[in-house]
Amino acid sequence: MISSTMSSSLSIKSSITQPLRLFSTSSRVTAGRRLPPYPLTQQDATARRRADAERGKREEDALESFALDDVPTTIYMRLEKIKEVYELHEKVEIHRQLLQEQRRPFQPPTAPIRITSTVDLTFPDVPIANKRVLLAPVAALPLSSPDAIHRFKLLAGPRWSPGRPGEKEMEYEGNKGYNAGDEKLGREGWIKISEATYPSARMNRKSASDILDRLIATANDEKSQLATDIPIDMRHLLARQRRRNIHGVRGTVARVEAQNSRPHTVGHVKGFPVEWLSPEARDKVRGLAKSTTT
């Protein structure tokens, strides 16, 4: 009974005196603090402390001092990306036969309406990846009459341009480089609808398609109150060409003419359609514009 009591008291004492090893503490720090399961004499404790000190000194001498010769964390991240690419190449090599069986020849699209997207391979989850851009020639849309075509251009506003949107939006370029079809497919100009309102790419695509459908339905409405003799506003195109000229972009003849032209000012309203005026007032406005430029 006495021996069992003594052993239990020794075990309790050792468990109390035994320090707990923290998660953030290294083994080297806690190695010298561990106590044996039996009590030590003063001589044994001194020898143990001396041995621990000598062992710690040897470990410190064995460790090399950090000389800032290691690569930064970004390099390790880059190596991980390279490793992922190597793994993808390895998968391609392993499944090469299966990939060759599933390949199909590329056939360019023949539909006049084109919906494009932007893909960033470095950051595929950026918000611009959900953006959808609809591009279509006006001549290929189901518009019932020339008046409907003119109303469609008026309703489209800055979304319409004589040429394909881009560097040659001010000049006629036919159907060169576009989907297969009539060479005069762009004779009535082009419409471009960009949609990035919704968080989903499918929703943005559907929204752009719905906008085009509403424009076509409104333009084909014969009871529309929109007059067909209203001239098409080209000020947004002229302003865009002037901005490109400011940034040092050289243009074609149509662009140079757009840069040199200025919208007329009628009654302190810049860009007022001169065609709406009477012949006498029209000549007067044009004469004032010529005298101002000279």
Round to whole Å and give the CA distance between 90 and 102: 18
pLDDT computed for residue 12 by the predictor: 44
pLDDT computed for residue 191 by the predictor: 93
Round to whole Å and give the CA distance between 90 and 294: 71
pLDDT computed for residue 40 by the predictor: 67
**What is 114-228's CATH topology?**
Double Stranded RNA Binding Domain (3.30.160)
Taking a C-beta distance cutoff of 8 angstroms, is the pair 204, 198 a contact?
yes
Using alpha carbons only, give the angle 191, 197, 202 rounded to the nearest 5 degrees.
Answer: 80
The pair of structure tokens assigned to 64 is: 């090399």
pLDDT mean values, one per 10 residues, the chain (294 residues): 46 46 49 58 77 75 65 88 91 89 84 86 82 92 92 92 80 59 76 93 94 94 85 79 62 54 66 74 74 59
Using alpha carbons only, give the angle 273, 275, 281 rounded to the nearest 5 degrees.
Answer: 95
Domain boundaries, the chain: 114-228
- Which pTM value belongs to this model? 0.57
pLDDT computed for residue 83 by the predictor: 93
The strand pair at 269-270 and 160-161 is best described as unpaired
Taking a C-beta distance cutoff of 8 angstroms, is the pair 193, 212 a contact?
yes
